[in-house]
């Protein structure tokens, strides 16, 4: 007679033997991978820098056909090689193959000397410097700007302050309304004494940030994925993919204290894109001044930036040429899933192609 879970001594013995075989195979797999995993596969060259911030230009297998360069502004909280993780999971590669001329900002790793970098530094000095470099290098009045996650929030600020320098604006998984009910990260942030945190720590440690993100889905991110890893121990390619993603997740920079203070208070706590009064330095940011074409891409299962947080842009921007792409996936899947490789670069390329003449 079987119990409700149909567990027998024989089935338990078979599972134990299966686990033992997987672990034994895993030893061989991991030994073969002693050189580690690689990431950031597309050749690139440094073209401009300011402090630790570096502007790179990607080089594809053929020369770009696009006349207007595309500048990617990524978030501060993780490294930007997520958009070029591996050869078959690369937004950058997909854009280059379609003829786009792709540049990316690498913010670097802030240290104690960067504690007083603020939003004006990141948006006006770094993004603004990169935009001006590209305008001069390509002899253009305006370039195309792609902002991702927090980098999308920065891109919105920059484009609203300098609409004449942004030809087309693309935002991906970008928070605009930080107070939607399903935004757990924002709800937590609102309970933090940010002044006390920054005044005490200076820069905000990357490990603290990572632990916060992992706690948004503790079962899945602390336990389930590592239990699932046992099933792929005998598959070298699957293990390389797993370890590459682990490397990216935990390769996080500390956050410059003053920029973290400003971003947390203005956006997470006071939701100033919606309520008004967002500022970069002494200048106020009004999303209604975004009059350039906008493509807003959000992920339907995004637990970090819920769809409504991104879709709010439609009601706040001043553009009469506004397009949305709803991606069936999550915050990470929008870069690395098989569906993303087929849909996202092609959508961006087609959309830009109609607006970059």
Cβ distance 114 to 52 under 8 Å?
yes
Q: Are 324 and 170 in contact (CB under 8 A)?
A: no
Those residues with Cβ within 8 angstroms of residue 180's Cβ, 6 or more apart along the chain or in another chain: 186, 306, 308, 309, 312
Q: Is 283 helix (H, G, I), strand (E, B) or coil?
A: strand
Question: Phi-psi region for residue 218, left (φ > 0), alpha (ψ -120 to 50) or beta?
Answer: alpha
Angle subtended by helix axes 236-250 and 9-32, to nearest 10: 70
How far is it, in rounded angstroms, from Cα 290 to Cα 286? 8
Largest CA distance in the chain: 80
Tokens of 96: 């280059």
CA-nearest of 309, 297, 285, 306 to 346 is 297
Q: Which of 169, 166, 100, 104 is nearest to 132 (CA)?
A: 166
Pairing assessment for the beta strands 283-284 and 279-280 based on DSSP bridges: antiparallel
Quick one: how far is CA 321 from the chain centroid? 24
Residues assigned a catalytic role? 149
- Structure-token pair, residue 43: 């050749």
């Amino acid at each position: 007679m079987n119990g409700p879970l149909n567990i027998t001594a024989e089935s338990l013995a078979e599972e134990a033997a299966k686990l033992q075989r997987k672990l034994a195979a895993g030893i061989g797999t991991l030994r073969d991978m002693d050189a580690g995993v690689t990431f950031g596969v597309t050749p690139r060259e440094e073209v401009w820098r300011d402090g630790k911030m570096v502007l790179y230009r990607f080089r594809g297998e053929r020369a770009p056909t696009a006349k207007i360069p595309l500048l990617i502004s990524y978030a501060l909280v993780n490294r930007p090689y997520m958009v070029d993780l591996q050869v078959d999971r690369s937004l950058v590669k997909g854009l280059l193959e379609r003829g786009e001329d792709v540049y990316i900002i690498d913010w670097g790793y802030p240290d104690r000397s960067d504690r007083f970098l603020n939003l004006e530094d990141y948006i006006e000095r770094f993004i603004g410097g990169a935009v001006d470099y590209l305008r001069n290098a390509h002899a253009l009045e305006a370039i195309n700007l792609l902002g991702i996650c927090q980098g999308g929030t920065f891109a919105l600020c920059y484009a609203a302050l300098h609409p004449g320098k942004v030809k087309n604006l693309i935002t991906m998984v970008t928070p605009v309304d930080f107070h939607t009910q399903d935004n757990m990260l924002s709800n937590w942030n609102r309970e933090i004494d940010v002044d006390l945190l920054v005044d005490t720590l200076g820069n905000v440690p990357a490990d603290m940030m990572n632990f916060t993100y992992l706690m948004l889905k503790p079962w899945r991110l602390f336990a389930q994925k590592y239990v699932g890893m046992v099933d792929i121990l005998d598959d070298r390619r699957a293990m390389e993919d797993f370890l590459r993603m682990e490397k990216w997740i935990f390769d996080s920079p500390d956050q410059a204290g003053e920029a973290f203070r400003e971003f947390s208070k203005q956006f997470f706590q006071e939701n100033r894109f919606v309520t008004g009064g967002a500022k970069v330095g002494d200048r106020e940011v009004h999303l209604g001044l975004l009059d350039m074409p906008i493509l807003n891409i959000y992920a339907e299962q995004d637990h970090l930036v819920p769809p409504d947080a991104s879709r709010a842009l439609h009601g706040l921007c001043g553009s009469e040429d506004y397009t949305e792409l709803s991606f069936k996936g999550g915050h990470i899947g929008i870069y690395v899933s098989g569906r993303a490789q087929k849909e996202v670069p092609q959508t961006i390329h087609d959309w830009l192609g109609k607006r970059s003449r």
